[in-house]
Amino acid sequence: MNDMWRMDGGTGRFHCVATTGQPPSPRRGMGLVYDSKDSLIVFGGMYSGGMDATLAVFSVSRREWRTPRQLGSVPSARTNASLVLLAPNQLLLFGGCNASGVFHNDAYVLDTSTTTWHALPALNMTPAPRYHHRCACTRRARQPVRPAGVPCLAKSFGQEGIRFDCIREGGGCV
């Protein structure tokens, strides 16, 4: 199926949403995040033909799909990676699994205003490769991360907790 539904919070009922544009192919295991402005952003996932690194954007107000051209260090095709909003116009993609069953432990920042990806080099300790995991942005001040040459430290908390500390424009930790 490749349809979209919304839930009415007052009644708990679901309603089919009529959309325009070309939606991504039906898939599972994709990253999906709301950019806190107007867009639902989808990356990767599995579909009947395999796996891909498609980036699709749905405008909530226009109810329209588009597939923008991706620039920069585009992540490889993957499923079950985490995709979270870091700051206005910035998403973090971490981990996932490719079609050969290889788990990833890489991280990328997407500048949604230009659809440009930036690979984050892991300094200090690299998290173990993983998929079917979750990631959350817990910063109080949602300030943009400096993506070009960003020092990004991965720190372990317990067996499974990993924290990324990235340097923001002008210095200082986020």
What is the rounded distance in angstroms from the CA atom of residue 107 to the CA atom of residue 92? 7
- What mean pLDDT do residues 148-169 have? 43
Average of per-residue pLDDT values in the chain: 79
Reduced to 3 states, what is the DSSP secondary structure of residue 118?
strand
Confidence band (pLDDT; 50, 70, 90) for 9? very high
- At 22-81, the pLDDT tens digits run 999 999 999 999 998 999 999 999 988 889 999 999 999 999 999 999 999 999 999 999
pLDDT, greater one: 128 or 64: 64
* pLDDT cut 70: percent of the chain above it: 69
Token pair listed for 116? 């440009």
The radius of gyration of the chain's CA atoms, rounded to the nearest angstrom, is 17
* pLDDT in the model for residue 153: 41
Is 84 a residue whose pLDDT tops 70?
yes
What is the rounded distance in angstroms from the CA atom of residue 155 to the CA atom of residue 163? 5
- What mean pLDDT do residues 157-170 have? 45
